[in-house]
Amino acid sequence: MISRRTFLHGAGAGALVIAIPVPALAATGELAPTVLVRVDRHGRITATAPRPDIGQGVRTVVALLVAEELAVGADDVRVEQAPGDTDRFGSQAVANSTSTRQLHEPLRRAAAAARCLLVTAAALRWRVPAGECTAVDGEVCHPRRGRLPYRALVADAAAIDPADVPVTLTPPHQWRLLGRTTSGRVDTADIVAGRARYGLDTRPPGALVAVVARPPWLGAKPDTVDDRATRALPGVLDVFPLTSPGEGQGGIAVLARTTHQALRGRDALRVTWRAGTPAADSRQWLADLEAALPAQGRPSGPQRTYRLPLLAHAPMEPMNATADVRPNAAIVWAPTQDPGSLRTALAQQLALPPASIRVEATLAGGAFGRRIEPDAVLEAVACSTRAGAPVSVLWTRDDDTRHDSYRPMSVHRLTAVTDDSGLPVRRSHEVVTWPLTVVPPFADPAVIRASGDHFPYSVPGDVTITVQPAPLRTGFWRAVYAGQFGYAEECFLSELGTRAGLDQVQLRRRLLPADSRLRRVLDHAAARAHWSRHPAPGTGRGVACHLDYGSAIAVVAVADAASRRVLRVHVAVDVGVALHPSGVRAQVEGCVLDAVSTVLGAQVTVRSGSVVESSFSDYTWARIDQTPDIDVTVVSSGADIGGLGELAYPPAAAAIASALAAATGTDVTGMPFGSDVG
């Protein structure tokens, strides 16, 4: 008798063959090559998304990868959200644009392993070589034996020793779903019907609601609390101090039956506050940063100082979390960027073994770096522990905007030595900024530099980073320090080009290696923008490039002088292989709108110790009438899959600011364009 091993090897002709160690199969009669993929007795396929979806579309990519390898439609794959469990799922952090980069291979392999086992089971039943069988549309087919649906094969497949079955991945030229522009987001039917569940939509039976009176100025601590009026209100159950869990600022919590009652209860509190920094002012902070610039070196050439403001995350769904803490166990529902680390943190806070804590990652209404932090969850856990009941903690929009962990302010002094043609031959970039207080390693200048300095041009030089103590909470914000460093570098390069009368695209081409991915995307973006033609009268153009997360991107922006509107943005992006092109475009579009928003005016300011902005009425995020036409070209270089979620922000911001500068004849001196900073 032919061994399975022998005839299976025929299956790989021309295809990529990878034998992976496949862990134990489920004893339930399901086929489950790894924790990421299951085929049940009815042939139903479930994929597990190990990382939360914050709008970056990871659940869609998970469905596409599994559907592709199991030869079914994306709709045939149910996507289940993994609970926090780093033992089973490894890192679950949505950070540093790693989700697709780190997940595509384990997911494809798991699904391909399931397919190969199903094919093997069919081949054994038919007594034919597996190489003659193919998986198509949820069935295994053989030219003479006919077809068998997966459900008829699951039990047999689950009984096969996976070590005997080499796994063949579907080669890219045979992809039906991956790389196609037609695939939409998996949750879209739920979203458009209002059925999609976010953190704030999670309310276990009997859950109470808490809102927190937070410090009216930075660092303030409650002094006296008069809660009589609050306690007299209907539905108010408790008022208690919430000490700052970890980095959060805490305050006075009001616990009630409904959100309305909790909010009215908070309104009725009389709290006096002490300590903190009631005189803090972000204009002064900026001046302090600037004063900390190193003494001027030898005067050498053109120089420009850029001043960048505080930015808030302002996710559409404000911070919130729900917890149900019992004596020996706890469940948490939260829109989080990192359910795995959250479970570890909760195990510590509650002194419970991680196995008795369940962290459910809901859909998140945006995150942008903010939901890496566990603060809202720790508050919910503290409230539930005290209440002995499930509690949802809601941050109002005002809380969310005024008690964020902001993108740090920064001051950048750029100096260049130029050759006779005006081209830079040496650069100096001196930065003064704050650390990320919620991520301690980001106080180290070397770590800040690794995050921020991705200067891609062949111009040698120095980067000097001075880190000043942060006067308020700071944290990850889309693209992290690259959003500041890259913006300043590209705006300065544009200014050098303008001073020397050089063409902005040619200038960059000359500073990039021939045949580099970056130069290729620059050429694509320039061509799409008809760069060689003169810009229309009254408009100006800007260009910027960026290389990060293993991906390359170039952006050309066109702005109108009179209206100060951004008219068009052309982007060419190379992420190696785009698995989900509509998702790639969406992330680029999102970054472009972040750039429009921050270059045209959104900033956070602090006066008399308090954040001034409190909602979208004064944190002036872009609206639909400010959206430019955005044209995204996805360039496939076939390089390893790169990251994308944050990639487009730095170059889009720089290209837009430079376009406004070119249109108006006003130099870029920071962000927002042409406004006071701080």
Q: Is 624 in the site for other proteins (CB under 8 A)?
A: yes
Q: Which of 151, 203, 221, 426 binds other proteins (CB under 8 A)?
A: 203
Least distance (Å) between residue 316 CB and ligand FES = 4
- Under rule CB under 8 A, residue 615 binds other proteins: yes
CA distance 401 to 396: 9
Residue of 158, 70, 51 lying closest to 112 (CA atoms): 70
Tell which one of 69, 238, 317, 360 touches other proteins (CB under 8 A): 317
Count the site residues for ligand FES by CB under 6 A: 3
Stretch that binds other proteins, among 9-17, 124-132, 301-309, 610-618 (CB under 8 A): 610-618
Distance, in Å, from the CA atom of 112 to the CA atom of 107, rounded to the nearest integer, reads 8
Stretch that binds other proteins, among 40-48, 144-152, 394-402, 500-508 (CB under 8 A): 394-402
Q: How far is residue 486's CA from residue 649's CA, in Å, rounded to a whole number?
A: 9
645 is a site residue for ligand FES (CB under 6 A): no
Contact between 199 and ligand FES per CB under 6 A? no
| Between 15 and 316, CB nearer to ligand FES | 316
Longest Cα separation, the chain: 86
Residue 76 phi, psi dihedral angles, 5° rounding: -80, -5
The backbone torsions φ and ψ at residue 351, rounded to the nearest 5 degrees and listed phi first, read 50, 50
Contact flag: residue 187 with other proteins (CB under 8 A): yes
**Residues in contact with other proteins, shown as a per-residue x/- string from 211 to 250 under the rule CB under 8 A:** -----------------------x----------------
Size of the site for other proteins (CB under 8 A): 62
| Cβ-based nearer residue to ligand FES, 291 or 316 | 316
166 near other proteins (CB under 8 A):
no
Pair 240, 271: CB distance under 8 Å: no
x/- track of binding to ligand FES for residues 277-316 (CB under 6 A) = ---------------------------------------x
Nearer to other proteins, 194 or 638 (CB): 194
Within positions 314 to 343, which residues make up the interface with ligand FES, using CB under 6 A? Answer: 316
Q: How far apart, in whole angstroms, are the C-alpha atoms of residue 332 and residue 83?
A: 10
- Counting contacts by CB under 6 A, is residue 260 touching ligand FES? no
- What is the smallest separation between the CB atom of 159 and other proteins, expressed in angstroms? 40
Which residue has the CB atom at the shortest distance from ligand FES?
316
Is 30 a residue that touches other proteins (CB under 8 A)? Answer: no
Q: Which residues contact 283 (CB under 8 A, 6 or more apart)?
A: 605, 676, 678
DSSP collapsed to 3 states, 164-175: HCCEEECCHHHC
Output the CA–CA distances (angstroms, integers) from residue 368 to 96, 363, 365, 407, 415, in the order listed: 11, 14, 10, 11, 31
Candidates 188-196, 323-331, 491-499, 504-512: pick the segment binding other proteins (CB under 8 A). 188-196
Residue 180 interacting with other proteins (CB under 8 A) = no
Query: Is 55 a binder of ligand FES (CB under 6 A)?
Result: yes
Binding letters toward other proteins, positions 264-303, x by CB under 8 A: x---------------------------------------
Give the helix ranges, DSSP H, for 295-408.
339-350, 375-387, 397-402
- Residue 552 identity: A
Q: Which is nearer to ligand FES, 42 or 623 (CB)?
A: 623
Cβ-contact 292, 433 below 8 angstroms: no
Residue type, 489: E
369 near other proteins, rule: CB under 8 A: no
The CA–CA distances, whole Å, from 90 to 34, 84, 131, 338 equal: 13, 10, 34, 11
Question: Which residue's CB is nearer to ligand FES, number 110 or number 364?
Answer: 364
When asked if residue 509 is in the footprint of other proteins (CB under 8 A), the reply is no
Which residues have a Cβ under 8 Å from the Cβ of 407 and sit 6 or more positions away?
Answer: 310, 311, 312, 474, 475, 477, 483, 484
Residue 127 in contact with other proteins, rule: CB under 8 A: no
Question: Per rule CB under 6 A, is residue 366 in the interface with ligand FES?
Answer: yes
Tokens of 118: 């199903």
Q: Is 515 exposed, middle or buried (0-12, 13-18, 19+ CB in 10 A)?
A: exposed
How many CB atoms neighbour CB 300 within 10 A?
Answer: 13
Parallel/antiparallel/unpaired status of strands 303-308 and 270-274 = unpaired
Site for ligand FES contains 188 (CB under 6 A): no
Q: 68: which DSSP letter? A: H
The answer to whether residue 179 forms part of the interface with ligand FES (CB under 6 A) is no
Contact 332, 321 (CB under 8 A): yes
In the complex, what is the shortest distance from the CB of residue 459 to ligand FES, in angstroms, rounded to a whole number? Answer: 38
476 within 8 A of 439, measured Cβ to Cβ: yes
Distance, CA of 12 to CA of 119 (rounded, Å): 12
Kind and range of the H or E element at 331? strand 329-334
> In this complex, which beta carbon is closest to ligand FES, that of residue 366 or of residue 678?
366
Asked if residue 487 lies in contact with residue 304, where contact means CB atoms within 8 angstroms, the answer is: no
196 binds, among ligand FES, other proteins, none (CB under 5 to 8 A by kind): other proteins
Answer yes or no whether residue 197 interacts with other proteins by CB under 8 A: yes
How many CB atoms within 10 Å of residue 112?
A: 26
Choose which of 12, 43, 55, 390 interacts with other proteins (CB under 8 A). 55
Chain positions contacting other proteins, by CB under 8 A: 53-57, 184-185, 187-189, 191-198, 200-201, 203, 234, 258-261, 263-264, 314-318, 363-368, 394, 396-397, 582, 586-587, 589-594, 615-617, 621-625, 627, 629-630
Chain positions contacting ligand FES, by CB under 6 A: 55, 316, 366
